[in-house]
Amino acid sequence: MARRSQSTRLHLAVTILMCAFVSTDGVDMNDLLERASQLSDKLHSLSTSLTNDLDSHFPPIGGKMMRPSMCHTSSLQIPNDKDQALRVPENELLSLARSLLLAWSDPLALLSTESTTLPHPERSNINSKTKELQDHTNSLGAGLERLAFKMGPSSEALSSLPFYNNNLGQDKISRLANFHFLLSCFRRDSHKIDSFLKVLRCRAAKMRPEMC
């Protein structure tokens, strides 16, 4: 009798703690998603601005030759429309977002390295923005990782999207073309991440209908 009472008491305590933890997580998740969506929005805006800077002086000369399907993240299966996206569970959406974000850590590093010597009149601007892009990506990655921890173990699975290029090219045009191509790929992927996170945000904030 004594042992049973002790075990039941222990289970009760653990249960209470778990409930509190989960309840607090709910509140924290909303805030985390809000923060993450703000970051992703910022990320995409930066990439768009960077692309505009890059195309200001040079026409998209390499746009026709390299298609976005050639991005290293194109192999990732993502929902293509809204109906598909709304049917995807939250943790899968989060996983996709995290996978994409994780896939761009290396290429962004390359871009950051290449932007310093990029033969472009807007190089300083491009350089600063590229650096900022890298920072935001890292912070978003950390936030999404924490979010994934709160969501559960199923969101822990990530798709590997390796990036094998270690330079953009040798000549000026190649470098510019490659830089432009990478940037375009990143722009799209950042949009994907932003969209997924905003869907997750509105799905979690059921208590605040005015936000969504």
Partner 1 sequence: MGISSGPKPFLTVGVLFILLSPATGFSAPGRPRVINCRSPEKETFTCWWEPGDDGGLPTTYALYYRLEGSETIYECPDYKTAGENSCFFSKNDTSLWVDYNISVVASNDMGKSVSEPVEVDVVYIVQPNTPESVMVSVLEDNHGPYLRVDWEKPQSADTRSGWITLVYQLRVKQAKDETWEEYDAGMQKYYNVFSPHSGKEYMVQVRCKPDHGFWSEWTTPVYIQMPDYMPKVRSMWIMVAVISAFLILLFAWTMNVKQNSVKHCLLPPVPGPKIQGFDQQLLKNGKSEEMFNALVIPGFPPTSTYEDLLVEYLEVYDDEKRELVLNEKNLIEGSMKSKSTSSDNDSGRGSCDSRTLLMEKCVDESGTEQELSQYGEASWASSDSEGRDNPASPGLEDGKVQMWPSVFSSPQSHNFQQQHPGGLRASHHSVPEISCVSPQVQTCCGQQDQLEGFQFSKPGLYRYAQMYSMDTIECKHVAQEPQSQSQSQSQSAEYVEVQTVNQENVLLVTPLSNPEGPNPELSDFSGEDYSKVRDVTSDNVLLLQRDLSVSQFVGDYCQDQIGQVDPCFLQQQQQEQTCKLNAHLHHPASALQEDMRLAGNGYVDTTMMMS
What is the smallest separation between the CB atom of 144 and partner 1, expressed in angstroms?
Answer: 16
Tokens coding 71? 């991005």
Which of residues 38 and 113 has its CB atom nearest to partner 1 in the complex?
38
Number of Cβ within a 10 Å radius of residue 145: 16
Shortest Cβ distance from residue 3 to partner 1 (Å)? 51
Instruction: Dig out the tokens for 190 from the structure.
Output: 């950042």
Does 74 bind partner 1 (CB under 8 A)? Our answer is: yes
Nearer to partner 1, 98 or 201 (CB): 201
* Amino acid present at 151: M
What Cα–Cα distance (Å) separates residue 69 from each residue in 30, 43, 57, 128, 166?
Answer: 34, 21, 25, 28, 19
Alpha helices in 74-171 (DSSP H): 82-87, 90-103, 105-115, 123-151
Kindly tell me which of 162 and 209 has the beta carbon lying closer to partner 1.
Answer: 209
Cβ closest to partner 1, residue 79 vs residue 107: 79
Range in contact with partner 1 (rule: CB under 8 A) among 132-140, 141-149, 166-174, 190-198: 190-198
Q: Applying CB under 8 A, which of residues 17, 142, 157, 211 lies at the interface with partner 1? A: 211
Among 83, 162, 164, 170, interactor with partner 1 by CB under 8 A: 83
41 binds partner 1 (CB under 8 A): yes
CA 26 to mean position of chain CA atoms: 21
